[in-house]
Structure 1
Amino acid sequence: MTPRPTPADLEAARDAVVDDLLPDPLRLLIVGINPGLWTGATGAHFARPGNRFHPALAAAGITDRLIDPAEGYAPEDLAHLRAIGLGITNLVRRATARADELSDDELREGAARLVRTVLTHRPAAVAVAGITAYRIAFGERRARAGRQDGWPRRALEEAGAQAPVLEATPLLVVPNPSGLNAHETVASLAAAYREAADAAGMERFAPSR
């Protein structure tokens, strides 16, 4: 773990590249838009205090505890995420203060990278957190949240001969857990994330807060 980042640490984290969390075996791969500065400074995904991601995982019984990564992952928490097969990546790897600092081209490039990640690591299910970013990244302007009927044409073209592998992987679009997404609650996020976890065949723990 690291000390809680200072304002100078956060500023220095701009454009930092954050490593993906890709356990083996990989059950559910959750795809954020891009890391925030707090994640860039600590290396822990969805680390900013007030982000509802980890509370939603606990409320959904996806994790067996409430993980607080504001100072980086505690070793036992990181080991738990790996043990349950929860992976985390982003469409765009560089850290910014806000997702709207990203270009459409970056998101489209991120969609291609996601396809490569899925084909390499073979998750049981994929959940993209953020409907607007998903629509831009995959060129699916009319897409709606929830389980998708299949992968977008752009993704299947990127997969090429491996398209059947992609088609066999459930794809869901779930809400972004950022506090800026004000109409979502921990409970509504938990319900969406639980649906994705069920699609991946993940264990259910007792919900915790």
Structure 2
Amino acid sequence: MSGANHMIPGSIAHSASPQALPDILEPGLSVIFCGINPGLRAASTGHHFAGRGNRFWRTLHLAGFTREELRPEAGRSLLHYACGLTTAVSRPTARADQLSRAEIKAAAADFELKIACYAPRYIAFLGKMAIAELTGKRDIEWGLQSLSFGGASTWVLPNPSGLNRAFSLEALVSAYRELRLAVQSGQTEA
């Protein structure tokens, strides 16, 4: 596996790329939230979802995952809530559509090994693009999936990016809350 440091359970793993955004992971988390790749601002600051228009941290708090709204700089605090963060592809771009399908597919095997190593209960993909390309499955619905990924139950949530205005804040919160309730109830099958 390239970037063997992904295989260091119990630590914050860093990708081999100097511009890549560090994962916030430890073994056995309830949920690992997975963005497709870092935005340029997140990569330059070293903090997930650091873009001014990104609604991730607010959505997570309003959905009940955190007691307070975390700031991107406090992203590591997410581990205290049994949640982590990663990206399917480490290369930063201004928009996810700047990644090629081949680039996402090339990341699939290593990414699935990383998820298997950290063994979360759920992997929550933020948007359909990454899971579709990683699995080759095209009929992706929102919510709990019938397939597992890296041994984890798989959930698909709307992307909280400020560029994704197809979902209001209220719709995002509702979708994320559904995952939180499933985590609390122990639901792992569609």
Under a length normalisation based on structure 2, what TM-score does the superposition of the two structures give? 0.81
Greater relative contact order (Cα < 8 A, sep 6+): 1
Which residue does the alignment assign to 1:124?
121
- Which residue type is aligned with residue 90 of structure 2? R
Pairwise CA distance, 1:39: 0.6
- Which residue type is aligned with residue 94 of structure 2? A
Conserved? CA contact 1:52–1:177, under 8 Å = yes
Higher strand residue share: 2
- Which residue type is aligned with residue 185 of structure 1? S
Gaps of 5+ in 2: 1-16, 186-190
Q: SS where residue 148 of structure 1 aligns?
A: strand
Pairwise CA distance, 1:110: 2.8
Which residue does the alignment assign to 1:140?
137
Give the total of aligned pairs: 169
Asked if 1:183 corresponds to 2:186, the answer is no
Shift >4 Å, 4+ stretches:
none
Aligned-pair identity in percent equals 36
- Which residue type is aligned with residue 35 of structure 1? P
Gaps of 5+ in 1: 1-13, 160-165, 203-209
Pairwise CA distance, 1:66: 1.1
TM-aligned CA distance change 1:107 to 1:15, over 3 Å: farther
Which residue does the alignment assign to 1:11?
none
Largest Rg, 1 or 2: 1
Distance in 2, matches of 1:17 and 1:53, equals 19
Pairwise CA distance, 1:136: 2.1
Under a length normalisation based on structure 1, what TM-score does the superposition of the two structures give? 0.74
Aligned-residue CA RMSD (Å) = 2.0
- Which residue type is aligned with residue 64 of structure 1? R
